[in-house]
């Protein structure tokens, strides 16, 4: 009878243990939590000019990637809404940025 009881206890302990999550599961869970907070992930490739600008902004402000990208999108939108997007693009081209 003792063997049966100890076997039951072992199987209960095994089922009560949390199974380890894979890295993919952890990343998925993280992305889901970020979406619940109303955040959106953006991906893309930066040109060498943009990468240089990014490094300068990062060094001078100590902002995270997320803050830099969010501010870049907001500033671009502000230029667009104020009819200054053409001026902004011209300035970027003239200054080879």
pLDDT of residue 20: 84
Residue 11 pLDDT > 60? no
Residue 83 pLDDT > 80? yes
Number of H helices, E strands in the chain: 5, 0
pLDDT of residue 94: 94
15 or 91, which is more confident?
Answer: 91
* 28: CB partners within 8 A, 6+ apart: none
What is the per-residue burial (b if ≥16 Cβ within 10 Å, else e) of 22-43? Answer: eeeeeeeeeeeeeeeeeeeeee
Q: What is the pLDDT of residues 17-70, one digit of tens each?
A: 677 889 999 999 999 999 999 988 888 899 999 999 999 999 999 999 999 999
* 88: CB partners within 8 A, 6+ apart: 76, 79
Distance CA 43, CA 50 (A): 14
């Amino acid at each position: 009878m003792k063997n049966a009881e100890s076997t039951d206890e072992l199987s209960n302990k095994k089922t009560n243990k949390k199974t380890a999550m894979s890295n993919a599961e952890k990343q998925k869970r993280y992305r889901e939590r970020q979406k619940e907070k109303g955040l959106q992930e953006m991906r893309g490739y930066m040109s060498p000019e943009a990468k240089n600008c990014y490094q300068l902004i990062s060094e001078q402000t100590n902002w995270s990637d997320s803050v830099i990208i969010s501010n870049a999108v907001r500033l671009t939108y502000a230029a667009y809404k104020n009819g200054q997007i053409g001026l902004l693009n011209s300035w970027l081209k003239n200054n080879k940025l």
